[in-house]
Amino acid sequence: MATESKNNNTKILIGVIVLLLVGIGVAAYFIFNQKVQIQELQEVSLLNKQELEDEYGQLSYEYEKVKMNLKNDSLLQKLTNEQTKVQRLLEELKTVKAENKSEIARLNKELGTLRQVLRSYVTQIDSLNRANAQLRQEKREITDKYQETARTLNQVSQQKQDLSEKVTLAAKLDATNISIQATNSKGKVQKNIKKIEQFVINFAISKNITAEPGERTIYARIMKPDDDVLVKSRTNVFPFENKEINYSIKRVVEYGGEETQVTMYWNVEEYLMPGKYRLDLFADGNRIGSRSFTLDD
């Protein structure tokens, strides 16, 4: 009986030991499995944190890219402020432990808000760009119209100037049938230069219905062979081609558009040298006729 009881106790002990070993194995399994799960969770948290840091970095880059071609100083300053906030939160994220789920969640939420802010600014910038493009188009159209108008006005002005020049040219007086006689005091033509006492100048102002009727001052310049002008006074001048030049004789005539005969006289009171002389006639600032003549000894 004693031997049998001892055997039973041994069996019970062995069973207890086996159960303990099984329990220890099961416990070890669960502990190991839990440790693996914790490690996996830590790795996931670390990976999520790294992804969040990358997203913050990408968002900062997107802010910078939007700023690159922005010329609106007000919007540029606002975007710079938001980008600074992104960078500050990124630095804060780097100091947060991966296991701090509440802080990670907060920073993730902040990231979403900053993305929405960026989208709102992009929308504003697109709207401004469209408005600016419209303004540029309108400015181009206005500029084109202005240039076209300016060209038209220039053409009209040129046509008006051309017409005015044609009218002025058409209205210009013209002296024809010019003759110069060298005479003595009795009106007799003289061939001897020493006996000449007067030049008698005759010419006709041609008919011109486009010329304005009224008084005309006719100037005559008698040029000597040495190109000096016969004058009674060096103060006798008239305007021609933007300067004042001397005249020998002047006469006021009434011109009504019809052919008008004119006679002018020059009393010879100075020494006359032999050679070729030239008579030039002027009116209304224009040379209206010219004639050369020669005096011999």
| pLDDT, tens digit, 9 for 90 and up, residues 263-294 | 999 999 999 999 999 999 999 999 999 999 99
- A 10 A CB-CB count for 295 gives 20
| pLDDT, tens digit, 9 for 90 and up, residues 146-189 | 888 888 888 877 777 655 555 555 579 999 999 999 999 888 99
Nearest residue to 171 via CA among 122, 206, 136, 195 = 206
The radius of gyration of the chain from alpha carbons, rounded to an integer in Å, stands at 58
Q: Which pLDDT score, from 0 to 100, does residue 124 have?
A: 83
Handedness of CA 146, 151, 153, 154 (dihedral sign): positive
How far out from the chain centre does Cα 146 lie? 13
Q: Which pLDDT score, from 0 to 100, does residue 44 have?
A: 45
Inter-helix orientation angle 73-95/2-68, to 10°: 160
Q: Which pLDDT score, from 0 to 100, does residue 31 have?
A: 62
Q: Which residues contact 181 (CB under 8 A, 6 or more apart)?
A: 189, 199, 200, 202
- pTM exceeds 0.85: no
- A 10 A CB-CB count for 233 gives 7
Q: Which pLDDT score, from 0 to 100, does residue 170 have?
A: 57
Amino acid at residue number 297: D
Three-class SS state of 135: helix
Q: Which pLDDT score, from 0 to 100, does residue 40 have?
A: 46
Nearest residue to 174 via CA among 199, 210, 200 = 210
**Cα 220 from Cα 260, distance rounded (Å):** 16
* Ranges in the chain, pLDDT < 70: 1-7, 22-23, 25-47, 98, 161-170
